[in-house]
Amino acid sequence: MSGANNLGIDYMVLIKELLTLKPILFHLNDGFLGANHDQHEHFGDGDFPIKELIELIPTGSRISIETPKDLTGDLSDFVSDIEYIKRAL
């Protein structure tokens, strides 16, 4: 979203244009639609339309979940992110 904001265009127009390149790897995180830099928030902590974005990802693609991880704990933050994605599907 930040790339589209910096270019002054609608983020969905940019995403759909990039999809014409047929990418097979997508990085996914939450953030804020109005931001000018990539935040990598946990899912649900921002305002990205996660379900809508996931629906754009072609079947068979790979997804890199790029949210912060607390490696000193029990990885419950990672589990929460995955559960959020499952609920979005």
- Nearest alpha-carbon partner for 28 in 44, 9, 13, 16: 44
> pTM for the whole thing?
0.85
Low-confidence residues in the chain, pLDDT < 70: none
CA distance 12 to 25: 18
CA distance 24 to 38: 21
Domains of the chain by residue range: 2-88
- Nearest alpha-carbon partner for 78 in 88, 89, 64: 64
